[in-house]
Chains A and B, each alone.
Chain A
Amino acid sequence: MLLDFEKPIVELEEKLAQMKKTLDLSNPTNQKIIQSFEQNILELKKETYQNLTRWQKVQLSRHADRPYTLDYIQAICTDFIELHGDRCFADDKAMVGGLGTVEGQTFMFIGQQKGRSTKQRQLRNFGMANPEGYRKALRLMKLAEKFNKPIVTLIDTPGAFPGIEAEERGQAEAIARNIQEMFRIKVPIISIIIGEGASGGALGIAVGDRVLMLENTWYSVISPESCSSILWRSWDYKEQAAEALKLTAQDMLGYKLIDGIIPEPLGGAHTNPQEMYLIFKKYLLETYQELAKIPTKKLLSQRINKFCSMGVFIE
């Protein structure tokens, strides 16, 4: 799948590949042509990706080829055991979790999971968790706390699932409970938005000591589409809504609503997943080293104080 702004770049890259095939590369003139062509592509890429609109970043965050939660976990862990179920009702396939080892350190990984094929998308409910998903996440967090393992949550959801059964089983209660209980968990929590961070469905696993966003992701109270439909009474104003919501990583860091940004390879995480995993791992370990030094009591009071200081008003 190609996004509009990816097309010109991909066309040039295809042309380059063809040139490399057809031209005699031992000829210095041809080498120069190739080099300058490559330079042109790089510049076009830089120009495109440094000037993305907020809506274009939303599109990148949803790119079908983007790495998902289990992709990151499998790429960075030497060992990973997935754990299932909320012990109350079911195992939510939209919320995954388990113990994983990265460079000898065990973490509890928890995150929303999207699917790639139609079948997988349905199985994962498009990354929209039900109450049992949030309760499973909380169970795993408490398990991590019991055995003193740091927690990593990966956020990638268009929202908590809005359905009859979700309401029946207390979607609001499940999310509220998680948000509050996360303030009490006595191990470091690192939350990373790897794709979409929509509203309470995202925050339900995102009360972290450090909240980081990948460079081309969004995190806000509502999706641009829903915002458009409510405020403009039409689905057509999603670009304006994205601009108005200031929902990018750069915006959120500017407002101090998150703690940092993890850079993506030029062109987005999906253009070079291997490089993305390396960057991700580096940031994760560095952040953990920093948090591991903080005494538990201080860690918890800092977590509470950070979120309590959020808000802008006039008095």
Chain B
Amino acid sequence: MEDFEELGMAWFRRQEKGIITPTEQKKETPDGLWHKCDSCKHIMLMREHKQNAYTCLNCGYHARIGSAEYFELLFDDQQFTELDPNISSANPLNFEDTKPYLKRIQQAQETSKLKDALRSAYGTLQGIPITIACMDFAFIGGSMGSVVGEKIARAVDYSIKHKTPFLCISRSGGARMMEAGFSLMQMAKTAAKLALLADAKLPYISLLTDPTTGGVSASYGMLGDLNIAEPNALIGFAGPRVIRETIGKDLPKGFQTAEYLLEHGFLDFIVHRKELKKTLARVLKMLL
């Protein structure tokens, strides 16, 4: 009986923290003042979080910020000119799953206040003229369709025309299913444009953030002269769920993290977001 009880204890031992927080310990976080870390649940002032480049003061977790925050972090004096702000999705396939595609787009535009999953802009970074494209995960999981492809293509054209380096910040689940064949071909389109950028001998830096998978990592995401990433970002071709289902086994700890990719030779370095601007400037000054 004793053995049995011991076993019973083992069954119910909590092995991961943060699964359940008792009601009395739950803290209400009023909007607009406090930020609660998505990872360690640490509570900090929003101002502090922002000053810390939207990373947790306690655990260093990099919050999934979007183009607005990156542009603000990277462009000098937060001054930039947005490129092609008005391109938005059409519905070439008349796609409908549980919802018509255009309705999905409309809802995403309303909730995210974005036109699509990527914004591009030019400005200066520590005095260096630069063109930056940045994905917005808040818009249908940062999925890449015709709009994302076209905006990258045009941002690269702008870089070539004005001889600026190009930075692309990826955060995406991959290609957008609702544009099927069109989404797939954006992989080719962006890769082709980046080949032209390379021919012009202009630097392309690809910053991979959490998460970057599928058609995005398998095209422009991995094609940087420098591929860099934020700490602990999930980066891969297939998503972890798909791999787990395919091989029928649990995945090793730390699998597909930025650190794992660095170790396997697919990243040049990992950079903390607080150091991002400074590091980019250092690298670009040496390359240009």
Partner of A166, one of B97, B221, B237: B237
Q: How far is the CA of A175 from the CA of B89 in the complex (A)?
A: 26
Q: How far is the CA of A240 from the CA of B89 in the complex (A)?
A: 22
A118 → chain B closest CB, angstroms: 18
Interface-located stretch among A64-72, A141-149, A224-232, A260-268 = A224-232
Interface size class of A (residues with CB under 8 A): 35 or more
B218 touches A247 (CB 8 A): no
Q: Which residues of A contact B93 (CB under 8 A)?
A: 244-246, 255
Q: How far is the CA of A245 from the CA of B252 in the complex (A)?
A: 34
A311 touches B255 (CB 8 A): no
Interface-located stretch among B29-37, B46-54, B145-153 = B145-153
| Also in contact, A167 and B180, with CB within 8 A (given A176-B217, A180-B195) | no
Q: Is the interface of A mostly helix, strand, loop or mixed?
A: helix
B145 → chain A closest CB, angstroms: 8
Is B129 an interface position by the 8 A CB rule? no
| Chain B residues proximal to chain A, CB less than 8 Å | 84, 86-90, 92-93, 95-98, 146-147, 149-150, 153, 175-177, 179-189, 191-196, 213-215, 217-223, 235-238, 242-243, 246-247, 251-252, 255-256, 264-266
B264 touches A168 (CB 8 A): yes
| Also in contact, A183 and B181, with CB within 8 A (given A170-B264, A221-B175, A315-B87) | no
Most buried by B among A176, A177, A219, A220: A176
Type the 1/0 row for A241-262, where 1 means its CB is closer than 8 Å to any CB of B: 1001111000110010100000
Q: How far is the CA of A183 from the CA of B195 in the complex (A)?
A: 8
A312 touches B237 (CB 8 A): no
Q: Which residues of A contact B87 (CB under 8 A)?
A: 313-315
B144 → chain A closest CB, angstroms: 10
Q: A117-140: which have CB < 8 Å to B?
A: none
A199 touches B193 (CB 8 A): no
Is A58 an interface position by the 8 A CB rule? no
